[in-house]
Chains A and B, each alone.
Chain A
Amino acid sequence: MTFRKILLAEDDADDQKLFCDFLSHRQDIVIMPVVENGEELLTVLENTTSQDLPHVIVLDQNMPKRNGLQTLAALKAEARFSHLPVVIYSTYADEELVSNSMAAGAALVIAKPISKKGYEEMIDAILNLLD
């Protein structure tokens, strides 16, 4: 069975836990240790060998230090990471965030789910990107 490695950058402890709790039963993904913000994400990636890089990165938009969009820009500017699909997810995903994210090279923008079913649907949409 193939699985996809997902790296989540999320500063909110509840949301970190919800993401892992709702999705840990799935056999088709591996959730890498969650990072707290964009800064930490970049540090972790820099210290990861190419074969250990995640298949997809999920960024919370509203994070301290570097928000989702800023982190996205930094990833796209770095040759080693620029090919990695990036998903921005946010409590409030309005047209502005969608168009800014897509313009900056995001693969998908998603509003944070409010139910277990919503999380499942989100991860299905993310995995669809990778096929």
Chain B
Amino acid sequence: MADKDVKYQTREILQAEIDELRQQLEEANDTIEAIRTGQVDALVVQSENGHQLYTLKNADQTYRVFIEKMTEGAVTLNPEGLILYCNSQFARMVQLPLSNVIGIPFDTFIAPENMPHYNALFKTCWTDDCKGEVLLIAGKDRKPVQLSLTTLELQEGISLSIILTDLTAQKATQKQLRDNNSQLAEINQALEASNHDLQQFASVASHDLQEPLRKIQIFSNLIKENGIELTPLSRKYLEKIIVSSSRMKTLILDILNYSKLSASDLPHDCIDLNEIVEELLEDFELVIAEKGAIVDRGQLPCIDANRGQIRQVFQNIISNSLKFSKPGQAPVISVTSRQIGQRSFDSPESADGPYCLITVADNGIGFNEKYLSNIFTLFERLNSKDKYEGTGIGLAIAKKIIEKHNGLITASSSEGAGTQFKIILPVKQNIS
């Protein structure tokens, strides 16, 4: 029984071997037939070392290897469109063994919907090289490929070479790009909408808020001027209305200035900071005299900047220094500058560096550095407005202007020990 089983098994194995050999023989016969009929001029044979290519022309060998190694698919067709040769990359593309590809019509692998396009290419290519995109049938999938068709004059006659470039990755990248673009477009639209809202706001602030406010101001002034009989208390309240409405006017104007900073892209000129500080000291002449302030001014550079905006920065900082002086002590303010190599507060000095570091230092009341981030924030005030008037917008404006000039601003201080504002600005605006 066992003996019989072994025999049976052996017979089965032998039969399988015979079948396989017969198939190989058939394939070999087919190949010989193909070579004999001129359909094939090279062979790729599967061996233990992978695919091996045998060509009938030794001179072609280097190119055969080259074609075999390249990442594009390559096929050679006869004028009837049968595949005479293909590289293994093409076989991988269509997910078939090489042996099954040779000798069959190339258009077997073209998606039906692309057949008209392929036929047109196939017609054109015999006179002119041409390119086109089609979907390649790859097993159950479709693969986008670019076909580059060129005719080759071989000894055996004319044939057609087609290089197939797999566009899958490219298409994916294109899709990604399209997706990203449409996402960007959406964000852009949202941004435009919010910009529009901001402009609306600016217009509301400039007119719709200011008109009623002016009425409050003018009619309060009218009551005050007309000498209408008022109790001392009413007069005091009226005074508060006048002061508050004037403060609100300042607030609205400051917000408007701030909102305009983001909208506008103002022109840059070569400006002399010495001149700007000089002008400001003239503007502050009264308060400087009143407080007996001393202002030390070092040599300042000329930089590319918007004059009006940079003037605003120095105006806000110097006016802060004058405002937040210690009671009973004359303010001492110094404005100095040096050239530095990098856009960083710890950059070493560099005589012809592309940036300047400007320091405005005072001996005023200072602030606790834990509030450093607050002082540049809109509406942040560290001091009560009873003692020091202001809207809390000045330094936010300064920061925004400096940032628009590709610069940096910071401050160092401790309570009661004065404040140092440090500003870095590019000397030229075109350095990046």
Contacts and interface: CB of A to CB of B under 8 A. Distances in A.
Contact of B218 (A62, A92, A114): A114
Contact of B225 (A14, A18, A94, A115): A115
Contacts of B256: 94
Interface in B196-237: 206-207, 210-211, 214-215, 217-218, 221-222, 225
Interface residues of B, number: 12
Interface in A103-131: 112-116
A14 B206 contact: no
Nearest to B264: A96
A94 B215 CA distance: 19
Given A62-B211, A112-B214, A92 B206 contact: yes
Contact of A92 (B210, B221, B222, B225): B210
Interface string A1-41: 00000000000101000100000000000000000000000
A114 B217 contact: yes
A48 interface: no
A99 interface: no
B210 A116 contact: no
B384 to A, nearest CB: 27
A111 to B, nearest CB: 9
A116 B222 contact: yes
Given A115-B225, A116-B225, A18 B218 contact: yes
B215 A14 contact: yes
A112 B207 CA distance: 12
Interface residues of A, number: 12
Interface in A53-82: 62
Given A14-B215, A112-B214, A114-B217, A62 B222 contact: no
A114 B212 CA distance: 12
B214 A91 contact: yes
B210 A91 contact: yes
A114 B206 contact: no
Contacts of B207: 62, 91-92
Contacts of B225: 115-116
A24 to B, nearest CB: 15
A116 to B, nearest CB: 6
Nearest to A61: B207
A37 to B, nearest CB: 15
A127 B237 CA distance: 37
Given A62-B211, A115-B225, A116-B222, A94 B206 contact: yes
Given A92-B206, A94-B206, A94-B256, A114 B211 contact: no
Nearest to B216: A114
B250 to A, nearest CB: 13
Interface in B235-273: 256
Nearest to A95: B308
A113 B214 CA distance: 9
A56 B222 CA distance: 27
Contacts of B221: 114-116
A115 B242 CA distance: 12
A94 B211 CA distance: 14
Nearest to A18: B218
A94 B255 CA distance: 13
Contacts of A115: 218, 221-222, 225
A45 B233 CA distance: 50
A116 B218 CA distance: 8
A116 B211 CA distance: 17
8 contacts: A14-B215, A91-B207, A91-B214, A94-B256, A112-B214, A113-B218, A115-B222, A116-B221
Given A12-B211, A18-B218, A91-B214, 20 more contacts: A14-B215, A62-B207, A62-B211, A91-B210, A91-B211, A92-B206, A92-B210, A94-B206, A112-B214, A113-B218, A114-B214, A114-B217, A114-B218, A114-B221, A115-B218, A115-B221, A115-B222, A115-B225, A116-B222, A116-B225
Query: A-B pairs with the 8 shortest C-beta distances?
Result: A114-B217, A92-B206, A115-B221, A114-B218, A91-B210, A91-B211, A92-B210, A91-B214
